[in-house]
Copies of this chain bind each other. A is one copy, B any other.
């Protein structure tokens, strides 16, 4: 059997990244579409994949790693639709439907961070693990959990940016989250850092930079502690702009060791390969789309042990 020809979409607030291939280093075609009104944006994405089919005669499945919040409960009437989102015009939009309807291929969909988690698991910093976390710390904070090899989608997808953590001593910044004020993202996302310091973090220098990084590491460690005690990950992979700050990872590891306070006393939690930078960078989301597409293709394939003659002969 030849390699599958999969379509991947990372649908974000500013652009849709669409590609066709089988792996991050096996990309046949790619396009970027600015995120405008839903109808035309989705139509342009559909057209990109239609051209692929016209050219090659084949597309096996499509995977979408999308901004949220998304309805992901199987069998729900709004499966694959956006819920209420601040992005104008996009609330309630059916993101998955147009691709299934127009291209007649299996479509997998999940959140952008869950997609990135799957991508890092297949080709990146979480390869070979079955229980791990992918966290992005950029303007905001988002996290996806893979547990026993599967993404966590219970009542809804995870919303790790909105954890509650204690304030650091002396921090009077009210927080930037429109819902919670001083939740994790509201205290430690890039937007919060800019608001607290009166300048984007990347413009800080000297003592202000040192203090900003110290606080950032402290807040990130507090949230990581909550994630660790709740999901017992084998590794935590962190991507996003804030995570790229030089020197931040050693500070996070030190603060994490401090806040865990020797409980449960695993040397693994202090090891350098426990909290690590993401490897795929901007390709994590598109790679996740490929994993979601492959999963949709597998799910749509008739299972060998439910054929008409049924059962195994052992």
Contacts and interface: CB of A to CB of B under 8 A. Distances in A.
Interface string A91-122: 00000000000000000000000000000000
Interface in A137-188: 143, 145, 147-148, 150, 152-167, 179-180
A73 to B, nearest CB: 9
- Chain A binding surface SS class: loop
B83 A160 contact: no
A268 B155 CA distance: 8
Contacts of A159: 228-229, 232, 263-264
B131 A152 contact: yes
Interface in A55-107: 69, 83-84
A308 interface: yes
A222 interface: yes
A265 B233 CA distance: 27
A304 to B, nearest CB: 5
A148 B179 CA distance: 29
Copies in the complex: 2
Contacts of A309: 313-314
Contacts of A155: 131, 232-234, 266, 268-269
Interface residues of A, number: 60
Contacts of A304: 311-312, 314
B179 A259 contact: no
Contacts of A179: 261-263
A180 B83 contact: no
A310 interface: yes
Given A155-B233, A156-B232, A230-B163, A264 B310 contact: no
Contact of A265 (B84, B154, B234, B265): B84
Contacts of A35: none
B231 A154 contact: yes
Nearest to A159: B229
Contacts of A225: 162-164
A247 interface: no
6 contacts: A147-B148, A147-B152, A155-B269, A163-B225, A306-B314, A307-B314
Interface of A: 69, 83-84, 130-132, 143, 145, 147-148, 150, 152-167, 179-180, 222, 225-234, 259, 261-266, 268-269, 304-314
